[in-house]
Amino acid sequence: MAMSMGGGGDSEPVMDINMTPLIDVMLVLLIMFIITIPVMTHAVKLDMPRPNPNSVEPPVPPEIIELEIDFDGTILWNGTTVPNFAVLENYFSQEAGKVPQPELHVRANKRAKYDNVAKALALAQRQGMNKIGFVGMEQFAE
């Protein structure tokens, strides 16, 4: 800051620039660059194994079982009607022993009773079915 001392009769304004805000801004920018540059150049080197094209076999896709539960309690196993839960339990026990284990795709009707769906899922779990998923969930989005 400039200050006029003395008894001079100068009434001219002081035309010097105030350097304090400029220095403050420059220091803030410098600190920001110092902080952000190591983040931008940070890299993690990973040594990934190279695949051997002769020994890599594509995985066998598992069999897919479509289990549909209709609004009236009808259970369909790959499109075939299942008469009762005892037969469904036998189907689950046969399929659970296969290697690789088939995927169970459950499609429950929007108006199906929760009890029927829960019983079917409990039977599948008790018999050792591990790959269980729900399909057709877009009907519940309405």
Q: What is the pTM of this model?
A: 0.58
Contacts of 121 (CB under 8 A, 6+ apart): 106, 132
Q: How far apart are CA 109 and CA 40, in angstroms?
A: 51
Domains defined along the chain, listed by start: 64-140 (3.30.420.270)
The tens-digit pLDDT sequence of the chain (142 residues) is: 555 555 555 678 878 888 898 999 999 999 988 887 776 666 667 777 787 777 667 778 889 999 999 999 999 999 999 999 999 999 999 999 998 899 999 999 999 999 999 999 999 999 999 999 999 888 777 6
